[in-house]
Structure 1
Amino acid sequence: MANVKYKACDNCFQAVGKVNIVGNIFMIVLKGFLGVVGGSKGLIADAIHSCADLLATIVMIIGIKISGQEKNERYPYGYGKAEHIVAIVICLFLYVIAAYILYDGVMTIVEGRMVIPCTVAVWGAVFSILINELMFRQALCAGTKANSPSMVAKAWESRTDVYSSIAVVFGVIGAKMGFHFMDPLAAVVVGLMIFRMCFEMTQEAALALLDKAPEEASRVALLDRFNTLIEDIAVEIRDVKVRELGAILDFVVEVKVPDCITVQEGEKIKQLIAERVAGQQERESVLTVRLYPFENQAAVPA
């Protein structure tokens, strides 16, 4: 089960994969057929893009299954980072597809192999816009609620398909108006958009694998917020570190305490801080509290 607040959100999360598989198979057939019949390079490129979408959806489902496994002795921090790896794998699929689309579009223009596409190609692109926009909204909502990096990546991949289909519409219309290069140019635009989206998603996933703190979790803001939660306790949080483990936030909180307290008192302080901080997090969190005496910097053993 996804880490979501409402059962309806969990049902939506579980349905995203099936909806995307069915939707992409339909669009591969529709756009591929209409692209060939209508003679549109742009729409054929868009159909290839949908093939990549289908593969990306399958990889996403596998990644979410892996990341949802319980932690064990071999993987004490769990499998959360599998989602970031999956996001990168999805992008690798798309890099290859984008390179092919770019090459084919450019060579079509250079060699002058332009063909005036039929109007039927426009209808294929319009259907693609509608279906991909619906899939984008469902996947983005479910992925955001469940804090799933791979599902959010998949959602934006669907939005890119919307933009590419819009480019196809303009390309076909332009070609029919006499600008014959517009249709293969639309294919080139599709490839460039895929490249840009993939670069941004790859960068974000790679930074998460390197334990970069989430943008919203700046150190100063966290220190102020956490110290406010424990202002009635005679301790001070001196540092907070946070990293993403897929959908989970992993916090390490360093706390200054009087050097005269006992181990039992220290354990009570750790438990109290953990309860208060964890209770204020919207996302599922793992919290480690480390105690440091005032007089020296040696950590109190947990």
Structure 2
Amino acid sequence: MSEVALAESEVESAENRRDFTRTSALNIVGNVAKILVEGAIGLAFGSVALLADAAHSVADVVGSVVVFVWGRSVYAAPDETHPHGHQRIEPLTALFVGGTIIVLGLYLLYESASALLTGPTVTFSPWLVGGLLFALADMSLLYWYTTRVNERVDSSALAALAVDCFNDIFTTLAALVGIIGVLFGYPFMDAAVGGVVSILVIYQGLKVTRENVTYLVGAAPSEAERQRIIAALRAHPKAEGVHDVAVFYDGTRLEVEAHVEVDGELTLVEAHDLETELIERLREMDDVGDVHLHLDPAGIGEWKDARE
């Protein structure tokens, strides 16, 4: 990589780290505000829906703090203890958020079922509607901002926080429907609607968790993604063949290992320059991180294929 390209990469990394930090901090502030407003009003008027929605945001705060503290490490340069960088910290952070979403979804489901069995205790007040409208505006703005920043940063941890904000919009809307039901003489709706939405929360948590487990265990990408990388190698005019290709996730980035067949008469310097060209070609592609290539003289076969 040229010095200019390296400098541009470092600047971009610093900007991404700054945007990541600001966005995760705003998620903490936004969720704390939602907890204080909904919690106070829910306690005052006995609304299970508001208290459950506020409890959901307690987990959001925990997740946002973890993202704020751990997630920025992905932008740290490789060091002696992490020679391949810190990319796996990001999906680990997102995995924690996904697990938290699942736990709170189960809690919401339990609270809703309990309220249906024991009978509602909510008393209608315009404050209930006001608190939910505040929460709805709060989470909508937070979701919009987090998603907008992540279009540029492309972080799985911020994506998990955005999913959490999106879930909050639905849980708040559900709570609002329940409170309107209370207004019209159907107090059981306060808990019933919350139970339905809690299932959506659990589903979203499972989706985030499954995706980030894929990143953590070094799973292979889709076959289309693998073929895209092979095609990029074969497109070089001096590449006569490609084999033993391994493409797998290292964190949210793809790591590539491959053998490329080239003219066996190339000098060592020419082979070195060709290898550099091929590596740079792959690293310029979206989602590709480390690349490890082995150049083979074309036509002589692999040592492992030789007869004993």
Common fold, TM-score beyond 0.5?
Answer: yes
**Is 1:290 paired with 2:297?**
no
Call closer, same or farther: CA 1:44–1:95 in 2, change over 3 Å: same
- In 1, Cα distance between equivalents of 2:287 and 2:226: 17
Call closer, same or farther: CA 1:23–1:234 in 2, change over 3 Å: closer
Q: Work out whether residues 164 and 189 of structure 1, in 8 Å CA contact, stay in contact via their aligned partners in 2.
A: no
**Is 1:238 paired with 2:252?**
no
After the TM superposition, which of the residue ranges 253-262 and 268-277 deviates more from structure 2?
A: 253-262
Show structure 2 runs of 5+ residues with no match: 1-7
Aligned-residue offset at 1:178: 2.3
2:141 matched to which residue of 1? Answer: 134
2:72 matched to which residue of 1? Answer: 65
SS in 2 for 1:161: helix
User: For residue 218 of structure 2, what is the amino acid of its counterpart?
Assistant: D
- In 1, Cα distance between equivalents of 2:146 and 2:115: 35
Write the mapping of 1:200-239 to structure 2, written as runs, cut at 5 A: 200-215=207-222, 218-228=225-235, 230=236, 232-238=237-243
**Is 1:97 paired with 2:104?**
yes
Aligned-residue offset at 1:243: 3.1
Q: Work out whether residues 254 and 290 of structure 1, in 8 Å CA contact, stay in contact via their aligned partners in 2.
A: yes
TM-score (norm 1): 0.87
Call closer, same or farther: CA 1:92–1:277 in 2, change over 3 Å: closer
Aligned-residue offset at 1:47: 0.6
TM-score (norm 2): 0.85
After the TM superposition, which of the residue ranges 144-153 and 51-60 deviates more from structure 2?
A: 144-153
User: For residue 241 of structure 1, what is the amino acid of its counterpart?
Assistant: A
After the TM superposition, which of the residue ranges 19-28 and 255-264 deviates more from structure 2?
A: 255-264
1:44 matched to which residue of 2? Answer: 51
1:54 matched to which residue of 2? Answer: 61
User: For residue 122 of structure 2, what is the amino acid of its counterpart?
Assistant: V
User: For residue 275 of structure 1, what is the amino acid of its counterpart?
Assistant: E
SS in 2 for 1:126: helix
After the TM superposition, which of the residue ranges 83-92 and 149-158 deviates more from structure 2?
A: 83-92
- In 2, Cα distance between equivalents of 1:44 and 1:249: 42
1:276 matched to which residue of 2? Answer: 281
Of 160, 163, 171, which residue of structure 2 is paired with 1:156? 163
Q: Share of identical aligned residues, percent?
A: 24
Per-residue CA deviations over 1:96-118 (Å, capped at 9, x if unaligned) read 32222211110110122343432
SS in 1 for 2:27: helix
Per-residue CA deviations over 1:206-237 (Å, capped at 9, x if unaligned) read 11112123459622233224423x1x224333
Call closer, same or farther: CA 1:183–1:57 in 2, change over 3 Å: same
**Is 1:253 paired with 2:253?**
no
Q: Work out whether residues 232 and 282 of structure 2, in 8 Å CA contact, stay in contact via their aligned partners in 1.
A: no
SS in 1 for 2:186: coil
Q: Work out whether residues 253 and 288 of structure 2, in 8 Å CA contact, stay in contact via their aligned partners in 1.
A: yes
Q: Work out whether residues 17 and 72 of structure 2, in 8 Å CA contact, stay in contact via their aligned partners in 1.
A: no
Query: Superposition RMSD on alpha carbons, in Å?
Result: 2.7
User: For residue 244 of structure 1, what is the amino acid of its counterpart?
Assistant: Y
Q: Which has the higher helix share?
A: 2
How many positions carry a matched residue from both structures?
296
After the TM superposition, which of the residue ranges 18-27 and 1-10 deviates more from structure 2?
A: 1-10
User: For residue 80 of structure 2, what is the amino acid of its counterpart?
Assistant: E
- In 1, Cα distance between equivalents of 2:19 and 2:272: 41
User: For residue 142 of structure 1, what is the amino acid of its counterpart?
Assistant: V
Aligned-residue offset at 1:298: 3.7
2:206 matched to which residue of 1? Answer: 199
Show structure 1 runs of 5+ residues with no match: none
Q: Work out whether residues 9 and 142 of structure 1, in 8 Å CA contact, stay in contact via their aligned partners in 2.
A: no
SS in 2 for 1:292: strand
